[in-house]
Amino acid sequence: MDSEQVELAAAGPGGEPADTPERILMRSTLDADLQAALDELPDAFRQAVWLRDVEEFTYAEIAEMLNVPIGTVMSRISRGRRMLFEKLSASTAAIVPVPAEAGGRR
């Protein structure tokens, strides 16, 4: 399922996106690093993580939207979150100085 199909599956009555004020705010305030990391995820993982963590759908709802078993949804969310953590950790490590007592510059 592509992102357009996911949007349609998550649509409200009449096919319009079911945007709540909370969802609009969340999308508009995502940190640039987080958004970049999300954009780098493979589609299947990005969709599952987005639908669960941003749109707050249940695993069962996501499974129905994506037409995959619930176990697949759970796996994609877990693996997608791990990929996000790794991407964000790598980008943060590049900008956070290491304390002198841990071997950093003095």
Domain boundaries, the chain: 3-94
Average pLDDT over residues 31-39: 83
Q: Lowest mean pLDDT: which of 19-23, 40-44, 62-66, 99-103?
A: 99-103
Q: Is 75 exposed, middle or buried (0-12, 13-18, 19+ CB in 10 A)?
A: middle
Instruction: Using the predicted structure, report yes or no on whether residue 87 has a pLDDT greater than 60.
Output: yes
Identify the pLDDT of residue 9: 53
Structure-block tokens of residue 29? 């305030």
Quick check: 74 pLDDT over 70?
yes
- Span 36-57, mean pLDDT? 93
CATH number of 3-94: 1.10.10.10
A 10 A CB-CB count for 77 gives 20
Total-model pTM: 0.61
